[in-house]
Amino acid sequence: MKATLLLHTALRHFAQHGYEGASLQEIAQDVGIKKPSIYAHFRGKDELFLSAMTYALDTQKIHLATYFISTRHLSLEQSLKGFFEWFLEESTQNDQLKFILRISYFPPVKLEREVTDLINPFFDSLHRHLTRLLRERDRTEQLLFSDDYASAALAYLTVTEGTMTEFVYNGVEAYQRRFTAVWPIFWRGLVR
Amino acid sequence: MKATLLLHTALRHFAQHGYEGASLQEIAQDVGIKKPSIYAHFRGKDELFLSAMTYALDTQKIHLATYFISTRHLSLEQSLKGFFEWFLEESTQNDQLKFILRISYFPPVKLEREVTDLINPFFDSLHRHLTRLLRERDRTEQLLFSDDYASAALAYLTVTEGTMTEFVYNGVEAYQRRFTAVWPIFWRGLVR
DNA sequence: GTTCACCTTCCTAACGGTCGTTAGTTAACA
DNA sequence: TGTTAACTAACGACCGTTAGGAAGGTGAAC
């Protein structure tokens, strides 16, 4: 009970202050316990961080996948485009995604290896999932310009991340401004 | 002399470890002086950070502008596309760009306001510069699909940042993979 | 049904270490 | 003579971590 609360609180602090900037003192205070009590649940700061990370990746991996599954009945464009809005709505209350974005780009130096080993499978899985989605959809809808689905998926990921990180730092308006600007161009380049 | 050396060294440390993660001790050691000697040049860590930031923004603002000026004789596509390669080459030895990217997305919490006030004009200026470039080029080349040059510039910035941040974290290969994937699609969506 | 050992979870106190910062001093230089 | 830039020493604050103990629950032994 307190352990998962610790996980969630730590997640939020790491997302906002980074690994070095987050303090066990403040995390414990947010949870409502004293700092040393954290050690009843985790070996130390490293384990807390890596546990939070594993937890966030596992949860969000499923979470992202279910979005694309739940929009199977929509057109490909609606599904891909809608993902941006869905993600925006998610992120306003989903600290895990912010956390993942932050530590993906700027992992703590001393845990770089461990972070990479956890993150890479996550994005690889997302990439594979998208590639498969594009291939399957194109078989029925036949609207993509190129059949290099892996590249298309990677391009899509690049555009989403470019706008998402904008959201993390500059907020909703900047995010939507970017999306409005980039989507028509990207989609026009993607289809026949 | 030592002051600018401090600025450069601090820049590198902040880029690699973030504000909280960077230590004055290590910065001083890299420069070859003792930690308190920093205070002969800067009021403290905050001023060192903000000075480094101002310096980096000023330098890179000019640096980015000169690229687009120096490629005036090339086609628009060559100029825009070449920027990615240019940036890649730059970034391998240009800590200032890495620094700017990092603190743009994840500024130190306690200096968030100051960072935003410095960063926003930088990106605004870049955006305006690109918008003007697109408008001027399109007057002669007439190859863009839409005349909403501001949106086109913003979309271009989104794509560049999406790939650039990929470079910061995942290195050259990932960067080039992304660029190869996203550029044909983006360009196809941009022109008639 | 009571007792006893054990484990979990929290606590207080304190550790060694590093942090950014300040005071006070010295040598070089204008 | 005053200023600059470096130094040593030391400050208080906070860092992550450990030791040791109190409270509560669980479960087996009697």
Give the CA B95 to C1' D6 distance in Å. 27
Give the CA A38 to C1' C13 distance in Å. 16
Written as six digits, the tokens of B169 are 């974290």
Query: Å from B186 to nearest chain A CA?
Result: 5
Contact B163 A159 (CB under 8 A): no
DSSP string, A122-153: HHHHHHHHHHHHHHHHHHHH--BS-S-HHHHH
Burial of A14 (0-12, 13-18, 19+ CB in 10 A): buried
User: Tell me: the pLDDT tens digits for A45-104?
Assistant: 999 999 999 999 999 999 998 999 999 999 999 999 998 888 888 877 788 988 998 888
Partner residues linked to A191 by β-bridges:
A144
User: Tell me: the pLDDT tens digits for B153-184?
Assistant: 999 999 988 888 787 777 788 889 999 999 99
Mean pLDDT of chain B: 91
User: Tell me: the pLDDT tens digits for B19-39?
Assistant: 999 999 999 999 999 999 999
Q: In B, residues 149-168, which contact A (CB 8 Å cutoff)?
A: 150-152, 154-155, 157-163, 165-166, 168
CATH of domain B52-190: 1.10.357
Q: In B, residues 64-123, which contact A (CB 8 Å cutoff)?
A: 102, 104-109
**Which candidate, B52, B156, B79, B74, places its Cα nearest to that of A182?**
B156
Mean pLDDT, range B120-142, rounded to an integer:
92
**What radius of gyration, in Å, describes the C-alpha atoms of chain A?**
19
CB B108 within 8 A of CB A21: yes
Q: Which residues of A touch B144 (CB under 8 A)?
A: none
Cα angle for residues B56, B60, B64 (degrees, 5° grid):
170
Which residue ranges make up each domain of chain A?
52-190
Mean pLDDT, range A29-49, rounded to an integer:
95
B144 three-class SS:
strand
